[in-house]
Structure 1
């Protein structure tokens, strides 16, 4: 799955749970800070968020590595 799809999956899952980022631009420094501060009391929701978010971060790191080659 590509980065765009994983980002969309992450954001849609947050939206379904009522977590809406109030600023206008996604994937900025402030957006990452917001994502890093999200925590869920429900363990399953937290694990799902962690999985989706880690997929995005891994793909971003892979893209950076490929760009540097």
Structure 2
């Protein structure tokens, strides 16, 4: 298992926040992160190394990830 971290900056939608959790790989980390990232951008990292910035957006057709 790898320890992943989601970091949110203070952004007008919420305060600065840091969430740590264990997952087997980045795909599993995104499944866990889906309950946290709605409407806000976060940085996903593992073992101190940035993997990506991500956000979740909703449309009438459903939710989708935006990954930078």
Instruction: Specify which structure has the higher proportion of helix.
Output: 1
**Bigger Rg, which one:** 1
Higher fraction of strand:
2
Note whether the superposition's TM-score is higher than 0.5.
no
